[in-house]
Amino acid sequence: MEKTALEDLAREAMEASRQAYAPYSRFKVGAALLAEDGRVFTGCNVENASYGLTNCAERTAVFKAVSEGARRFTALAIAGGEGEVALPCGACRQVLAEFCPPEMPVRCVTLNGSGVRDFTLGELLPGVFRL
Ligand code: THU
């Protein structure tokens, strides 16, 4: 993966976080998922008054992508957090693992881009549940 591709994806995730609907937590998150065919699908967290119905930014991006016909992905960027980067929650890791290979790079950045941490999906979720 080219250095600039991940940087561009991180910028798209930062941009997507601006759409976050987070009136309850005030914690905005954005995600940008690169499909094998070159399309980028962005997502933000969408909260609900019934808190458990909240959808995370990462799952919003995956569901948008899959519903548009994309099935294979090559990189993900997530923007969230201020001092520390936000890491994807366990539910999102499992949903990502359904469609993304363990070697896929996952870049986590703070909302303003000053903090950066790089992982692979396999590092974030070893021992994926599969049927
Ligand atoms: N959130 C995400 O969007 N992605 C994650 O991986 C972790 C948490 C959102 C859900 C909720 O709207 C807010 O962050 C606080 O939990």
Q: Which of ligand 1's atoms lies nearest the C-alpha of 89?
A: 6
Nearest atom in ligand 1 to the alpha carbon of residue 46 is 12
pLDDT at 6 over 80: yes
Q: Has residue 128 got a pLDDT over 90?
A: yes
The pLDDT of residue 12: 98
Using the mean position of ligand 1's atoms as its centre, give its distance from the Cα of residue 53 in Å.
11
User: What spacing in Å lies between the alpha carbon of 22 and ligand 1's midpoint?
Assistant: 9
pLDDT of amino acid 122 = 98
Cβ neighbors of 89 (< 8 A, separation 6 or more) are 56, 58
Q: Tell me, what's the pLDDT at 1?
A: 76
How far does the centroid of ligand 1 lie from the alpha carbon of residue 45, in Å? 6
CB 95 within 8 A of CB 62: yes
DSSP string computed for 52-107: GG-B-HHHHHHHHHHHTT---EEEEEEEE-SSSPPPPPHHHHHHHHHHS-TT-EEE
Q: How confident is the model at residue 4 (pLDDT cuts 50, 70, 90)?
A: confident
